[in-house]
Chains A and B, each alone.
Chain A
């Protein structure tokens, strides 16, 4: 039973051509995250939504944008992909609770190739 779904699983785009990655969840979690993971590195948080509130990491390039039209869906838009943006993009969700500290559920990821 898929809980966090990402589409597509593999995406090839051309240098500078906008691309959108999608994430959906069936968990009804209020927090959704986007991570970038390059080979042999830890996931790097790009931004997250707490309910409808968008929280951008200070070092996330302006080239990366996100939309969350409803609780279930979240999109990652890369406006002008560069070769350095080739990576695995992971979506994750969690449900906040008093006192914090809840599990993040990761999707299978979208592997982005930039040609």
Chain B
């Protein structure tokens, strides 16, 4: 089955700096890669996603890049703010649909943005 590795497990940055979180996946058939943000005690919320036919996607201060050849994708947050502090999970989808559709999550990165 699919395996998703996420690094680093913790990341501390100063407000205004950039943060980068990296993930690798094992199944070359994966075609959908979302990133979720989870604040303490709250639900995971999708912040950005990318599909295998796209190499990069940006939404304001957040961007995701995908390298299908190397099987890795990264989350980039620029101009970090204290409210960006949370756990971030990457995930990969191993199917093109049907009853097998599901996500495999990375172990998460605890991002702390220091004022």
Contacts and interface: CB of A to CB of B under 8 A. Distances in A.
B101 A106 contact: no
| Most chain A beta-carbon neighbours within 10 Å: one of B93, B95, B105 | B105
Contacts of A107: 43
Nearest to A90: B43
Contacts of B93: 100-101
A18 interface: no
Contact of A42 (B46, B51, B89): B89
Contacts of B97: 96-100
Interface residues of B, number: 25
Nearest to A91: B43
A107 B96 CA distance: 24
B107 A94 contact: no
A45 interface: yes
Nearest to B108: A42
A109 B100 CA distance: 23
Interface in A35-71: 40-43, 45, 48, 50, 53, 55
B67 interface: no
Given A100-B32, A100-B93, A101-B31, A33 B43 contact: no
Interface of B: 31-32, 34, 42-46, 49, 51, 89, 93, 95-103, 105-108
8 contacts: A42-B89, A42-B106, A43-B89, A55-B100, A100-B32, A102-B32, A103-B49, A108-B42
